[in-house]
Amino acid sequence: MSFSARFSQLNIDDLSMKLYASTPADVERALQYPSGNLSSLMALLSPAAEAYIEQMAQAAAQITRQRFGANLGLYLPLYLSNLCANECDYCGFSMSNKIKRKTLNDDELLAEVDIIKSRGFDSILLVSGEHETKVGIEYFAHVLPQIKQHFSYVAMEVQPLKTDEYQRLVALGLDAVMVYQETYQPQTYTKHHTRGKKQDFIQRLDTPDRVAKAGVDKIGLGVLLGLDDWRLDALLMGYHLDYLERHYWRTRYSISLPRLRPCTGGIEPKVLLTDTGLVQMICAFRLFNQQLDISLSTRETPELRDNLLPLGVTQLSAGSSTQPGGYQQPDSQLDQFEISDERTVAEVIAAMKTRGFNPVFKDWEKAWGLNNANG
């Protein structure tokens, strides 16, 4: 049993109609019973909820404070490779983009790790393009132990793998896997993914199930907001989250809310997600799920990121590079996406502290790194 079976039962057009037909009364009821309730999530994501945004923000901030205190986790992405065998029109690494392709060797990897460590980070997100043969399970199994020596928490955002491959990586120290569906609308998905294995919508959709069965600590979901109707995509991501939490209840979950940004050879968003919409989404998800990690990348401007901090964000990156070897040799041409917050870690931390938040670099002890495989 996996999510694609549940997904096929959903009538997306029907959900869309109901979402847009949500009334102020629906929003008010949702605000009373938001937690774990998909129809509440729908109302909170609807246009009708915009009028309640301050109330949503207050409630979301309170829940986040109660659950997470004033802690904000800091992590950094480490790009292992930009080789890619997919054609995705929104991404700088798309296979037909003429950029210099690079995969880090052991020395280059260590050099990146040293820089990241020198900045104080202890939680790392390994990222690569999706190239099964040249940057596949053997490469990951090779680099992971080297990296795990240096960081308490290691997450990966790479191509979908098989359950036994995930199990192998968990045994080597993998803590979390991020796999973003990009969009939950199959037709839009097809339009943007024109070559390579990423074209397989269902295989990607079922990836979190395979990851959960391998016993990781955390699974990250996400949609690329702007590819399609963001309200509907967010709602469907909510269905995905709900399903996963019910079936793999020992696993933790996070979501990421990347908005489509300019990149080399990139595209314009189909539906614009305004700052108000982004705030609404963060608050809606926090109200829907009190324990969800919500991650904010450097795609957004410093000002906006700082204002989003109280609303439900629990993880953020700072001083990121989105290209392989980018910490040693920054060169914006190779970036996967354009970075808007270019502040250093020190600057981001200072901004956090003035707003009453604690930066947390380490919240995980590898000595207790036992498997927690879901039955």
Partner 1 sequence: MLTIADHQFESRLFTGTGKFTNSATMLASIEASGSQLVTLAMKRIDFKMGLDDLLSPLQSRGVKLLPNTAGARNAKEAIFAAELAYQMLGTKWIKLEIHPDPKYLLPDPIETLNAAQVLCEKGFIVLPYIHADPVLCRRLEEVGCAAVMPLGSPIGSNQGLATEAFLKIIIEQSSVPVIVDAGIGAPSQACRAMEMGADAVLVNTAIASSANPILMAQCFQQAVQSGRKAYKAGLGAVSHNANNTSPLTGFLTTRKVS
Nearer to partner 1, 95 or 219 (CB): 219
| Interface ranges with partner 1 (CB under 8 A) | 28-29, 31-32, 35-36, 53-55, 57-58, 61, 246, 249, 274-276, 279, 301, 303-304, 307, 310-311, 375
Sequence-distant (6+) residues with CB within 8 A of 121 are: 74, 75, 76, 151, 345, 361
Which residue, 55 or 188, is less far from partner 1 as judged by CB?
A: 55
Rounded distance between C-alpha atoms, residue 54 and residue 5, angstroms: 37
d(CA 1, CA 206): 10
To partner 1, the closest distance from the beta carbon of 269 in angstroms equals: 11
Residue 49 DSSP symbol: G
CB of 123 to partner 1, least distance (A): 27
Complex with partner 1: residue 58 or 146, whichever CB lies closer: 58
List Cβ<8 Å contacts ≥24 apart for 269-278: 269/225, 269/226, 269/227, 270/188, 270/226, 270/227, 270/228, 270/229, 271/226, 271/228, 271/229, 271/230, 272/226, 273/225, 273/226, 273/230, 275/304, 276/50, 276/53, 277/230, 277/231, 278/225, 278/304, 278/308
Q: Give least dist CB 91 to partner 1, A.
A: 21
CB of 126 to partner 1, least distance (A): 30
Question: Closer to partner 1 at the Cβ: 28 or 132?
Answer: 28
Closer to partner 1 at the Cβ: 11 or 32?
32
Distances 158 to 38, 129, 177, 192 between C-alpha atoms, Å: 29, 6, 8, 18
Q: In whole angstroms, how close is the CB of 67 to partner 1 at the nearest point? A: 15
Nearer to partner 1, 164 or 303 (CB): 303
The least CB distance from residue 137 to partner 1, in Å, is 29
